[in-house]
Structures are given as C-alpha cells and as structure tokens.
Copies of this chain bind each other. A is one copy, B any other.
C-alpha cells in the first residue's frame, strides 16, 4: 500500500516594503510553474507570504497597518495565483495577514489557507501561538509585534485533502509540541508550516546561532513523535535590514529530513511523500490508543504557565 503525494516547497527570498503584491504573486506563480514541472501536486508557501514581515515595525496609524492585510481571498492581486493553480491543477498552502469583518467587528489574524487543484479554498487556519510582544519596545533593534497585530486563532484541525489527512500551522506553532499532538489526535498525516524567523531574537541573543538548529529540531521531533510528515517553508534572507533564516525542509514520519532548501532566496525543492509511511509509526511506537497516558497530562490543559514548586518559590528565584 502506498499513497504518494509530491510536495514542493516554495521558499521565498525577502520581500521589501516597497514590493507590490502583484510583484510577489508573480514570484509565487513562477515557483508554482517550476513545482508543476517537477511533478508537484501541491506547493507550500511561507507565512505572511504577500508582503514584507510588517510586525517588525510599530505602526500607529491603523490605515497604514491595515494596508498589509487582505480583506478577501482571493482578491485582485492574488487571483492570478488561483487561476494558475486551476490551470496547472496544482494545490497550494499560502500564509497572509487576514482582516476579517465579523458579526462583532473587525478581527486580525495570521492566517493560512489550503487551496485544492481546482483553485478552491478548502481550508483556513488562524495562527494559535503568536510570538513576540504587544507594546512598542524601543530597545529592540526591530520589533516583533505579532501579539499586537493579531489575535490567536481557535485551535488546530485537520482536513481530508490531497488523498490524506492534512493539517496546518504557522511559524512559532512549530516549537510547541502541543501543535503536532492535537493534530495527530485527529489523524493528521502531513502538516504544512510556513514561517518567518529572524536570526536575531532580541530577548535571548545567546541563541541566535542556533536558530536553524532549533527550527529543524522542532520539525523533526514533531514529525517523529506523531508519525506525520512536516513541511516547513521559510521566508528567508535580508528583508528591510533584518536577516531571517531559510532552512525550509520536508521531514518524514521517521524524523529524517528528506528535502531541503539551501539558499535564502526564492527556491523550489520537492519530495515524494508516501502518506502510508505514517502508519509505521502511528501503529507501533506512537500508537496513541496503546501507549498514551492522559491521566498524567492534566497540567497541560489546566495551566497556562508554571505552577509553584513544592516549597512555594519559583525556578530561578531566591536560590
């Protein structure tokens, strides 16, 4: 038994602030054609793939801020990408900033969509784990205001598509083991994860050198420990003076990296992924029904932060 899915990564190089959506969509279309020529059935683009990574600036003016969001999808700028997908019969995953007019007013999300080979949106995901901070912090070399510009989405879900059970996540979600587990508990066989990860992390510059290692470690562990494929795709390179990691890769349910981008520019790479390979793990070492022990996991949902240690003081304090 085998269910092969040919998955392309459409890694993006930098998008400068002055670059128009039209110019970006042209780059996405170029990569889509390349992916198709390699036999890809789906191409995975990064998080916030239509504009520069605007949370690096404190933007007070709402109109200026909202110029980075999409109010509908597809829209005039992105329609060519949907048209090309339908024409080439290739699916895609795309991240963008979403401005949603809902019953109770405007909401802003860091969003990804899954589009089928007929150019139809079949699923939408709103980022759960927003990193960074919510107030202007002038001491930083650059801001990371995702907590200001977005609200967290409701959770993780799966969708039957492309011959398997697909999940979506975004960027910082990949560092949290809960992301993969909640998806796997719903049968997820492949998770798509676009990201923008600056090399420099202002609060902890001690681990700037490890950014690529941490990216890959998280994707590998998430894939292995849940018997699923993980596809991580970067927006990489020097964008408005801020350097971001590349390191896009496709990880098998074994935890092995099977395809990788090596530049920090627009780059397409592909892997032939057998979705049935998940079962080798899901039915043995990670057969949840046999081996998970939820009676011991209570704190994971009961608590957000650390509890106090037995003697009433917290780690790192008063010792």
Contact = CB atoms under 8 A, between A and B. Distances in A.
Of the candidates A180, A186, A282, the one having the most CB atoms from chain B within 10 angstroms of its own CB is A186
A263 interface: no
Interface string A285-307: 11111011111111111111111
A134 B301 CA distance: 30
Given A225-B177, A315-B187, A305 B285 contact: no
Contacts of A310: 158-160
A8 interface: no
A130 to B, nearest CB: 8
A207 interface: yes
Nearest to A296: B155
A296 B187 contact: no
Nearest to A204: B284
Interface string A158-180: 11100111000000100111101
A16 interface: no
B300 A300 contact: yes
Interface stretch (A27-35, A63-71, A111-119, A212-220): A212-220
Interface size class of A (residues with CB under 8 A): 35 or more
A207 B277 CA distance: 11
A210 B303 contact: no
Contact of A289 (B152, B163, B278, B306): B306
B306 A288 contact: yes
A255 interface: yes
Given A176-B292, A217-B220, A279-B316, 8 more contacts: A129-B293, A184-B306, A186-B309, A210-B254, A218-B225, A287-B305, A288-B306, A292-B304
